Amino acid sequence: MDKVTFTAQPRDKSVKAKILRKKNLIPAEYYGHGVENMSLQLDYQSFRKLYKKAGNNTVIDLEVEGKGMKNVLIHNVDTHTVSDLYTHVEFINVRMDEEVTTTIPVRLEGTAPAVKDMGGTLIQNLDGIDVTCLPKDLVHEIVIDVSSLVDFNSSITVADLKIPKGITVTNEPDASVAYVTPPREEEVAPVDAAVVDVAAVEVPGEKKEGEEDGEAKSE
């Protein structure tokens, strides 16, 4: 099991969230079944590094100053619609003897022969797989070798994944994870081979040779 440690401070609720953010702090909440909810504040840069490493599926030893150590998962992270900066975080309490349901990211590695030798495009259908397991069995990611994608008929499904012991996948076994599509053929507009005799086309209102004032000359 991957596990990391992080320190948070209790939040003074009299201080508005926008004031915390100006001080490079993130307002946060800790909650869960059978525990007392706590309002926290997190150092922005420290949390940014934590989230990059742990994501939403790594158990964190959350040390709250004056409140002891908590086993948690990052349950939700809100971001600003324009700046994309973190604005609020939710930690959910984890009991090590109870199963959790989460999503483990899927990362592709290696080179697919259908891409290298046949000019295809690698398509990843699933960015993560849904799982149920005890917290101790969680892993940070599932790595998939795409070297088995030798042609455009090959694919990798959920059933092909090597899942660590103790983890139950809830996706359908035949769900596609990755495959390679053939190169797109350039569409060429068909050329009309018919040749039009422009001189033979009669234009309404145009006088024909040998006509005057709309009447044909008499011989």
* Average of per-residue pLDDT across 26-31: 97
Other C-beta atoms lying within 10 Å of the C-beta of residue 51: 17
Q: How confident is the model at residue 213 (pLDDT cuts 50, 70, 90)?
A: low
Q: How far is CA 60 from the centre of its chain?
A: 23
Q: How confident is the model at residue 202 (pLDDT cuts 50, 70, 90)?
A: low
| Contact present, 74 and 6 (Cβ < 8 Å) | no
Q: Sign (positive/negative) of CA torsion 7, 11, 58, 104?
A: negative
| Contact present, 176 and 156 (Cβ < 8 Å) | yes
**Long-range contacts at 8-14 (CB < 8 A, ≥ 24 apart):** 8/40, 8/41, 8/42, 8/62, 8/63, 8/64, 8/65, 9/40, 9/41, 9/42, 9/64, 9/65, 10/38, 10/39, 10/40, 10/41, 10/64, 10/65, 10/66, 10/67, 11/39, 11/40, 11/41, 13/39
Give this prediction's pTM: 0.72
Least trusted range by pLDDT, from 61-65, 69-73, 159-163, 193-197: 193-197
Q: What is the pLDDT of residue 209?
A: 56
Q: What is the pLDDT of residue 219?
A: 46
Q: What is the pLDDT of residue 51?
A: 95
Mean pLDDT over each residue of the chain, to the nearest integer: 88
DSSP strand pairing (3-10 vs 38-43) = antiparallel
Structure tokens at 11: 């939040």
* Average of per-residue pLDDT across 140-150: 95
* Average of per-residue pLDDT across 95-118: 94
Least trusted range by pLDDT, from 9-18, 85-94, 124-133, 184-193: 184-193
Q: What is the pLDDT of residue 34?
A: 86
Q: How confident is the model at residue 218 (pLDDT cuts 50, 70, 90)?
A: very low
Interacting residues of 177 by C-beta distance below 8 A, sequence separation 6+: 106, 124, 125, 126, 129, 144, 155, 156, 157, 158, 160, 161
Q: Say yes or no to pLDDT of 201 above 90.
A: no
DSSP strand pairing (86-93 vs 38-43) = unpaired
H/E element holding 77?
Answer: strand 68-79
* Residues 171-185 pLDDT 10s: 999 999 999 999 987
Q: What is the pLDDT of residue 205?
A: 58
